[in-house]
């Protein structure tokens, strides 16, 4: 079986001895110094937790209640009618991946959903997860021919053809791998189709805060919740809390009313029980501690703004350095979030790696958060050289 294209790339990168090497294949936010951050607020929450000297007991199957409440509020807003009416059940999961898996299992085993539809392109694991849960997977068009925006007409036309009742995966913000998101107006149109065709949306939000901000990135979630439709949402604290290895995420099932949400909770708990029994404690306790303390929460908001601003700065720096090299790298400033689609072919991405030690995914995706002021000029020059050979 071939290596995962992204993880395999990291292995290759590690063994590359060229000092100028740059890893843009990663799926993590890196600091200007090129390191994974340990957020101050996470460190402080961990100190507080260790001082409590808690024993390592089992967690509830649905997760730590304080964590679930806090992330529900972060995603949908505390005052959201759906939250206030108790229509949303939130279950702690093994990262965003675990949320997607649990959501797919719930849809297939309990709701009898047989088909899933994902954007073309999408994060590769979506397809693997859904297939693993017994769903057949097809794609709806997403990217336009110039690869710098959404082909919205084609997307809507395809969604109108999707079999009623199918699960449809949407990226709520910071589309991975393209960095191209829908406008508010486009989301409203998508919602109309979802309603008309009785589709079951699963909104994936792994990068809340990295696109336009914590509140702004939740636009689609809140729009769908306010519309009264039933849908699911998978969210993750891996990136915005830099808690990658702690596996902290949540599945939210937005139901018709409180009673339905209670039924959904008991079904989700039964699925969890059979799969892994109960979730890990540490990461979720850290998030609950940060979001439960107004002062820490305020500082975390600032941390997210800082990560967001650094990504935007690197986008600008790449486009400017490209211009100085005579190459159009303006895709970087048109797109949002941690990833960008360069529009480079697999062969051009190979050349970047082989000749310049610049590592990106063969589909043309680069992680903008892997750029810093020391390497951005070099990367722009390498890309310009490859582009000029066209």
By CB under 6 A, name the binding residues for ligand PLP: 27, 95-97, 123, 171, 176, 204, 206, 236, 238, 249
Least distance to ligand PLP from the beta carbon of 246, Å?
10
Nearest residue to the partner ligand PLP, using Cβ: 95
Q: Which is nearer to ligand PLP, 28 or 48 (CB)?
A: 28
Maximum C-alpha span of the chain? 62
b/e for 24-48, b at 16 or more Cβ within 10 A? bbbbbbbeeeeeebebebbebbbee
Q: Which is nearer to ligand PLP, 62 or 238 (CB)?
A: 238
Least distance to ligand PLP from the beta carbon of 248, Å?
7
Percent of the chain as helix, strand, coil, to the nearest 5: 50, 15, 35
Q: Which is nearer to ligand PLP, 95 or 121 (CB)?
A: 95
Least distance to ligand PLP from the beta carbon of 238, Å?
4
Q: Which is nearer to ligand PLP, 92 or 176 (CB)?
A: 176
Whole-number CA gyration radius for the chain: 21
Q: Which is nearer to ligand PLP, 257 or 275 (CB)?
A: 275
Q: Which is nearer to ligand PLP, 92 or 342 (CB)?
A: 92
Question: H-helix or E-strand containing 152?
Answer: helix 152-159
CA atoms of 221 and 250, how far apart (whole Å) = 14
CA atoms of 286 and 71, how far apart (whole Å) = 12
DSSP codes joined into one string, 197-248:
TT-EEEEEES-TTSSS-TTGGGHHHHHHHHHT--EEEEEESTTTTT-GGG--
Rounded alpha-carbon distances, angstroms, from residue 245 to 198, 217, 248, 300:
37, 24, 8, 19
Least distance to ligand PLP from the beta carbon of 85, Å?
28
Handedness of CA 358, 360, 366, 369 (dihedral sign): negative
Residues in a beta bridge with 116: 137, 167
CA atoms of 35 and 49, how far apart (whole Å) = 25
- Known catalytic residues? 123, 204, 239
Least distance to ligand PLP from the beta carbon of 176, Å?
4
Least distance to ligand PLP from the beta carbon of 101, Å?
9
């Amino acid at each position: 079986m071939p290596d995962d294209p992204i993880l395999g790339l990291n292995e290759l990168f590690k063994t590359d001895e060229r000092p100028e090497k740059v890893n843009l294949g990663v799926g993590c936010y890196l600091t200007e110094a090129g390191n994974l951050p340990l957020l101050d607020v996470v460190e402080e929450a961990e100190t507080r937790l260790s001082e409590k000297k808690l024993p390592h007991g089992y967690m509830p199957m649905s997760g730590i209640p304080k964590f679930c409440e806090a992330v529900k509020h972060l995603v949908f807003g505390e005052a959201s009618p759906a939250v206030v009416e108790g229509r949303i059940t939130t279950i702690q999961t093994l990262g965003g991946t675990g949320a997607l898996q649990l959501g797919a299992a719930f849809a297939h085993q309990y709701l009898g959903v047989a088909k899933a539809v994902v954007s073309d392109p999408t994060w590769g694991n979506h397809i693997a997860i859904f297939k693993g849960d017994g769903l057949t997977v097809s794609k709806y068009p997403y990217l336009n021919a110039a690869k710098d925006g959404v082909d919205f007409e084609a997307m809507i036309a395809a969604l109108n053809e999707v079999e009623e009742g199918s699960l449809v995966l949407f990226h709520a913000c910071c589309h991975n791998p393209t960095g191209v998101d829908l406008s508010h107006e486009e989301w409203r149109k998508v919602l109309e189709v979802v309603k008309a065709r009785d589709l079951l949306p699963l909104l994936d939000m792994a990068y809340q805060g990295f696109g336009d901000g914590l509140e702004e990135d939740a636009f689609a979630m809140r729009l769908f919740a306010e519309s009264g439709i039933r849908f699911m949402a998978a969210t993750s604290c891996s990136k915005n809390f830099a808690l990658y290895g702690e596996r902290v995420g949540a599945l939210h099932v937005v139901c018709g009313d409180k009673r339905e949400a209670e039924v959904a909770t008991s079904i989700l708990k039964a699925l969890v029980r059979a799969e892994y029994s109960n979730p890990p404690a540490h990461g979720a306790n850290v998030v609950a501690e940060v979001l439960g303390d107004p002062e820490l929460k305020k500082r975390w908001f600032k941390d997210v703004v800082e990560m967001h601003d650094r990504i935007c700065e690197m986008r600008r720096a790449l486009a400017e350095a490209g211009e100085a090299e005579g190459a159009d790298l303006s895709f970087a400033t048109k797109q949002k979030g941690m990833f960008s689609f360069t529009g480079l072919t697999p062969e051009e991405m190979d050349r970047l790696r082989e000749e310049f030690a610049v590592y990106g995914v063969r589909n043309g995706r680069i992680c903008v958060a892997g750029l810093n002021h020391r390497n951005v000029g070099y990367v722009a020059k390498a890309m310009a050289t490859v582009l000029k050979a066209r």
